[in-house]
């Protein structure tokens, strides 16, 4: 009796899955307040995720990510950016096994707490 390995099928990952992974990973980093809409331009009409603050480009089995963020006012922007890059890279690589070519972080604004009026 011979053992045959089961036939393997194909796994397809929708671009929205990559968007969700990148977005939730970035928002999980301390100091990130929220996502910012992707700035305008002709290119934004042809890309996914423009309202989510994430732009994804997939080439072969690799991905490049652009994140548009609003950070909290009491955070070191450089450290927060590096932490976002590391976390998004780790999450995409571990969850879907794709190589991450780049994670570009664009700080669009700083969130200050609203002052209470007396």
Is residue 56 situated within a structural domain? yes
Is residue 5 situated within a structural domain? no
Is residue 9 situated within a structural domain? no
Judged by DSSP in three states, 2 sits in: coil
Is residue 1 situated within a structural domain? no
Q: 56 near 63, Cβ under 8 Å?
A: yes
Q: Is 8 exposed, middle or buried (0-12, 13-18, 19+ CB in 10 A)?
A: exposed
What CATH number has the domain bearing residue 65?
3.30.70.1350
Write down the pLDDT at residue 49.
Answer: 47
For the chain, how many structural domains are there in total? 1
Is residue 96 situated within a structural domain? yes
Judged by DSSP in three states, 50 sits in: helix
Is pLDDT at 15 greater than 60 in this prediction? Answer: yes
Domain range holding 105? 15-111
Is pLDDT at 70 greater than 50 in this prediction? Answer: yes
Q: What is the pTM of this model?
A: 0.80
Is residue 6 situated within a structural domain? no
Q: What is the pLDDT of residues 72-115, one digit of tens each?
A: 999 999 999 999 999 999 999 999 999 999 999 999 999 998 86
Is residue 24 situated within a structural domain? yes
Please tell me the distance from the alpha carbon of residue 22 to that of residue 75, in angstroms, as a whole number.
Answer: 20
């Amino acid at each position: 009796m011979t053992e045959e390995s089961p036939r393997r099928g194909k796994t397809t990952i929708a671009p929205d899955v990559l968007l969700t992974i990148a977005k939730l990973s970035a928002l999980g980093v301390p100091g990130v307040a929220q996502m910012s809409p992707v700035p305008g331009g002709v290119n934004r009409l042809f890309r996914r995720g423009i309202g989510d603050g994430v732009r994804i480009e997939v080439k072969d089995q690799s991905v490049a990510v652009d994140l548009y963020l609003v950070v909290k006012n009491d955070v070191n922007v450089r450290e927060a950016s590096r932490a976002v890059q590391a976390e998004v890279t780790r999450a995409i690589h571990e969850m879907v096994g794709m190589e991450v070519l780049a994670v570009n972080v664009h700080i669009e604004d700083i969130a200050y707490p609203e002052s209470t009026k007396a």
